[in-house]
């Protein structure tokens, strides 16, 4: 059978996938399979592509071009042939959903230049949905949030009987991780100006180093609450070497990018509006692109849509995996799967907090969420309650319940603190590996004092008796002597049904009202438009009672119009 590869030809990075023994895999070459879309001219005038070229950017910023696609195809093809051990002449290539025919044609040509027949071009959100389809055949309406290095796209995709259709797509061609790096660079430049009274803005080599360091810091802040940006001998002021060392917190970084993220959420609203869909109608949220690892993004999407996005498949690889699956289809292969190692449970700790405005002494704070790809590292910062607090009880739980006591206690560690004012920071690190070994570290930020613990077999050890005991306790809260498991499922189903029903109902009346706008008097029309917006707004914010009131008012106007 002639091999067909799937290529995600991205602006920042490119990846290739192929189906080996029914499983879609990313082709790697002693690396993670991600090839920077970067070309550089070496010292002898030779052309360098990929990671090596990205490294050249540090030494030779003027001779390096990022975001090039044409040469990349060739390199990808060569790599695939080596791994598949056979010549490769056909490929499925992905493109952004908004690409025009001319741009699609240019992509085809880029493939041809690389010596590949492009058997099919598919949209990136379609590919991402295909990658997840194998893990959830039920998926119906999917929101694909794609934030890469330089672009942002959001699409609503409908999957019905294996047919994937992009209902709407919108975004921003000039927004991505690079902008976030530059926000940190700005911060560093300002810091150097105030700290050393020295401006580095017009020094490309220094700026390139700062950009590298900023990207590293940004990536670190996706799993850690703090990072220290260090760059020794970054430049010279007179004869004196300048060493940069600056701490940056996740909170500070989130503030720098908040405005950009809010803009992406406005695009999410627009995509839903264009697809005539309310948040409650979205079954799945898929994250694509390296920048979606920023935790604030999942948080914002959860607030808006009401459930957490998927994170099982690496967001950098999921478009390539989908392209690989489509390539498999083109080869006539049966549906193929993806191998993903995920944690089936959530791990976290307890802290004093509030749930729905009510204070709770034992609130569960999840660190590593269910369905997170393994290995996973997460850290979170906590604060002491009292002045001179001399110890903290660190409890580690597995479970989903809001009250930590309803979850399974995996470990309990007393951590002695140096006496300090209330609000002193304690950073808790979780590190969960593929074998289910959970490593814990609690660090007193000010002194660096810490305790460490290892929980062996954290994933499976409580899966039997103890798990069902805790489950029974939780279920007992919902039920009165009935078969608890069934009733929990029923409850979830009923909630889903209600949500589904109401969302269809609101979408229905909005459609009816929009169809009648042309027949309405000017006053009625204004009123109807306001009510439509009010309904959308109320549903978006989950204010269902208000939505119901607005709906009734709109219904009344429609009744009179006839």
> Binding residues for ligand AMP, per CB under 6 A?
10, 12-13, 148-149, 176-178, 215, 218-219, 222, 289-291, 293-294, 316
Phi, psi (5° rounding) for residue 327? -60, -40
Partners of 380 in the beta sheet?
428
**Closer to ligand AMP at the Cβ: 291 or 349?**
291
Token pair recorded at residue 21:
């023994």
Q: Which helix (H) or strand (E) holds 245?
A: strand 240-249
Nearest-approach distance from CB 459 to ligand AMP, in angstroms: 23
Nearest-approach distance from CB 542 to ligand AMP, in angstroms: 28
CB 170 within 8 A of CB 267: yes
Nearest-approach distance from CB 150 to ligand AMP, in angstroms: 7
**Closer to ligand AMP at the Cβ: 157 or 392?**
157
Residue nearest ligand AMP, Cβ-based: 177
**Closer to ligand AMP at the Cβ: 33 or 399?**
33
**Closer to ligand AMP at the Cβ: 94 or 349?**
94
Token pair recorded at residue 347:
């791990």
Nearest-approach distance from CB 219 to ligand AMP, in angstroms: 4
Nearest-approach distance from CB 394 to ligand AMP, in angstroms: 26
**Closer to ligand AMP at the Cβ: 149 or 171?**
149
Phi, psi (5° rounding) for residue 478? -95, -30
Rounded to whole angstroms, the Cα distance separating 20 from 22 reads 6
**Closer to ligand AMP at the Cβ: 66 or 196?**
66
**Closer to ligand AMP at the Cβ: 149 or 279?**
149
First to last CA, the chain: 62
Nearest-approach distance from CB 287 to ligand AMP, in angstroms: 10
Nearest-approach distance from CB 316 to ligand AMP, in angstroms: 5
Nearest-approach distance from CB 319 to ligand AMP, in angstroms: 8
Closest CA to 169 of 138, 146, 139: 146
Q: Are strands 90-95 and 117-123 parallel, antiparallel or unpaired?
A: parallel
Q: Which residue has the tokens 């050249």?
A: 56
Cα dihedral across residues 317, 318, 319, 325: positive or negative? positive
Nearest-approach distance from CB 335 to ligand AMP, in angstroms: 26
**Closer to ligand AMP at the Cβ: 150 or 399?**
150
Rounded to whole angstroms, the Cα distance separating 490 from 484 reads 10
Rounded to whole angstroms, the Cα distance separating 311 from 523 reads 48
Assign residue 402 a region (left: φ > 0; alpha: ψ between -120 and 50; beta: otherwise): alpha
**Closer to ligand AMP at the Cβ: 149 or 324?**
149
CA neighbours closer than 13 Å in the CB half-sphere of residue 489? 5
**Closer to ligand AMP at the Cβ: 227 or 407?**
227
Nearest-approach distance from CB 372 to ligand AMP, in angstroms: 13
For residue 107, the SS3 value is helix
Nearest-approach distance from CB 11 to ligand AMP, in angstroms: 6
Q: Which residue has the tokens 């269902």?
A: 544
Q: Are strands 13-20 and 4-9 parallel, antiparallel or unpaired?
A: antiparallel
The DSSP string of 186-214 is HHHHHHHHHHHS---TT-HHHHHHHHHHH
Q: Which helix (H) or strand (E) holds 351?
A: strand 347-355
**Closer to ligand AMP at the Cβ: 67 or 362?**
67
Rounded to whole angstroms, the Cα distance separating 515 from 105 reads 38
């Amino acid at each position: 059978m002639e091999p067909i590869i799937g290529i995600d030809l991205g602006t920042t990075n490119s990846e290739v996938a192929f189906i080996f023994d029914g499983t879609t895999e990313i082709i790697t070459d002693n690396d993670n399979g991600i090839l920077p879309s970067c070309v550089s001219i070496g010292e002898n005038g030779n052309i360098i592509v990929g990671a090596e070229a990205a490294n050249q950017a540090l030494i030779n910023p003027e001779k390096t071009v990022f975001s090039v696609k044409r040469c990349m195809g060739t390199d990808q093809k060569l790599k695939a042939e080596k791994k598949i051990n056979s010549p490769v002449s056909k490929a499925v290539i992905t493109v952004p959903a908004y690409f025009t025919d001319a741009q699609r044609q240019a992509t085809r040509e880029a493939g041809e230049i690389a010596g590949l027949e492009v058997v099919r071009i598919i949209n990136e959100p379609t590919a991402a949905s295909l990658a997840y389809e194998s893990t959830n055949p039920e998926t119906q309406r999917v929101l694909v949030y794609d934030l890469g290095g330089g672009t942002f796209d959001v699409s609503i995709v409908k999957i019905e009987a294996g047919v994937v259709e992009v209902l709407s797509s919108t975004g921003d061609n000039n927004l991505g991780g690079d902008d976030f790096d530059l926000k940190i660079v700005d911060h560093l430049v300002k810091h150097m100006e105030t700290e050393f009274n020295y401006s580095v803005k017009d020094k490309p080599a220094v700026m390139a180093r700062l950009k590298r360091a900023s990207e590293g810091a940004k990536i670190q802040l996706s799993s850690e609450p703090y990072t220290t940006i260090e760059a020794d001998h970054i430049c010279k002021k007179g004869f004196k070497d300048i060493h940069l060392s600056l701490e940056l917190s996740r909170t500070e970084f989130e503030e720098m990018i908040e405005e950009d993220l809010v803009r992406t959420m406005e695009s999410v609203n627009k995509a839903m509006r264009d697809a005539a869909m309310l948040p409650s109608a979205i079954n799945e949220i898929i994250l694509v692109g390296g920048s979606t690892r920023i935790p604030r993004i999942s948080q914002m999407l959860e607030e808006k849509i009401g459930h957490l996005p998927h994170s099982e498949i690496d967001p950098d690889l999921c478009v390539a995996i989908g392209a690989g699956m489509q390539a498999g289809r083109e080869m006539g292969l049966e549906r193929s799967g993806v191998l993903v190692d995920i944690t089936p449970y959530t791990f976290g700790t307890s802290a004093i907090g509030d749930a729905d405005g009510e204070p709770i002494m034992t609130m569960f704070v999840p660190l590593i969420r269910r369905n997170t790809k393994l290995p996973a590292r997460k850290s979170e910062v906590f604060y002491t309650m009292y002045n001179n607090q001399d110890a903290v009880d660190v409890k580690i739980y597995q479970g989903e319940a809001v009250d930590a006591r309803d979850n399974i206690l995996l470990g309990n560690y007393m951590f002695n603190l140096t006496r300090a004012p209330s609000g002193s920071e304690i950073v808790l690190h979780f590190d969960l590996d593929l074998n289910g070994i959970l490593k814990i570290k609690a660090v007193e930020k000010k002194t660096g004092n810490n305790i460490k613990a290892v929980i062996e077999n954290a994933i499976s050890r409580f899966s039997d008796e103890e798990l069902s005991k805790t489950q029974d306790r939780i279920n007992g809260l919902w039920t009165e002597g009935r078969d608890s498991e069934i009733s929990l499922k029923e409850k979830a189903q009923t909630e889903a049904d209600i949500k589904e029903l109401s969302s269809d109902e609101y979408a229905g009346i909005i459609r009816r009202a929009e169809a009648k706008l042309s027949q309405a008097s000017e006053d009625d029309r204004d009123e109807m438009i306001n009510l439509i917006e009010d309904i959308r707004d109320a549903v978006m914010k989950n204010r269902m009672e208000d939505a119901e009131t607005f709906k009734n008012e709109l219904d009344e106007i429609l009744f009179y119009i006839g």
